[in-house]
Amino acid sequence: MTTSHHITRRSVLAGLASVPFAAAVAGQAAADEPDQPAHPWPRRTIFVAGDSTAAPKSAAKAPETGWGMALPYHLADRITVANHARNGRSSKSFVDEGRLEAILAVLREGDVVVVQFGHNDQKATDVVRYTEPWSTYQEYLTRYLDGARERGALPVLATPAERRRFDADGNAYSSHGEYPDAMRALAASEGVALVDVQRETLALWQQLGPEETTRYFLHTDDGRRDNTHFNTPGAAAIALMMARGLVGAGLLRRGDVRRLEEVPEPAWFTWLPEDPA
């Protein structure tokens, strides 16, 4: 399965450079840090708790790519990514299936827990996954925050990546309702870091427009037209936002990241032999 368009590193970076927040964080990451003390955590793990937009994929689903698959490209060798994100999960179902407990069981002091949900929390007719943005959504997210902090780890909330949605005039619009605002409010009230992926992706899709954005999503030669899930350029764009955001939030240092002015070529990616359990 191949994508119907070719997209280059330069085009991904050019799009991201137009997003003010991403550009500001990139500048911060590149700033000099003289006399920086020794790192208190020489080896760390970034745990990803999320849904299909972040999750690892099997070779059978290629070129579908979760942004968690691209994140290691921007991290120093001493930083490991443990991608626990899985297709179809919400903040509620991830907890109810014991997936949060699996993360908490192996967390170490100084590890980072990235929490990105919202796509499936919206499914109001699904009792297994649905949460209400200003009550149960925030309540479930708080479990991730409390669990991480109790173990000396550093939680960060990440608003859900925006879908490809345009109105008749070609303007990108949000498809996530009140969930991003509810997450922002929770981050502020709990005093935890926030990487605002929803806001950044909405700005990026607006800048690129309806046609160019097809190159970031699963629009393939065999006729697939998926405006939620990413191919390798889309996943690379989100991972770059995430790496820059973690530096901007102070959860990673400049020496923890690399190649913030690059994106991985499709050949760099590795898909799993089978879908993860």
CA distance 12 to 201: 12
Q: What per-residue confidence (pLDDT) applies to 40?
A: 75
> Percent of the chain, pLDDT > 70?
86
Q: What per-residue confidence (pLDDT) applies to 265?
A: 94
Q: Cα separations (Å) of 121 from 92, 97, 115, 164?
A: 8, 15, 13, 18
Q: What per-residue confidence (pLDDT) applies to 12?
A: 58
Q: What is the mean pLDDT of each run of 10 residues along the chain (277 residues)?
A: 43 54 40 52 92 98 97 97 98 98 97 98 98 98 98 98 98 98 98 98 98 96 94 98 97 95 94 95
Output the CA torsion sign for 148, 94, 186, 25: positive
Q: What per-residue confidence (pLDDT) applies to 42?
A: 75
| Closest among 168, 177, 172 to 200, alpha carbons compared | 172
**What does the chain come to in residues?**
277
Output the CA torsion sign for 186, 98, 83, 255: positive
**Could you give the residue ranges of the DSSP H alpha helices within the chain?**
9-17, 20-30, 67-70, 91-96, 99-104, 136-150, 179-190, 197-212, 232-248
Q: What is the DSSP letter of 160?
A: P
Topology of domain 9-28+43-261, CATH: Rossmann fold (3.40.50)
Q: What per-residue confidence (pLDDT) applies to 41?
A: 75
CA distance 35 to 173: 44
Mean pLDDT computed over every residue of the chain: 90
Domain boundaries in the chain?
A: 9-28+43-261
| Closest among 57, 20, 48 to 158, alpha carbons compared | 48
Task: Determine if the pTM surpasses 0.85.
Answer: yes
Tokens describing residue 82: 């443990």
Checking DSSP bridges between strand 44-50 and strand 112-116, what pairing results, if any?
parallel
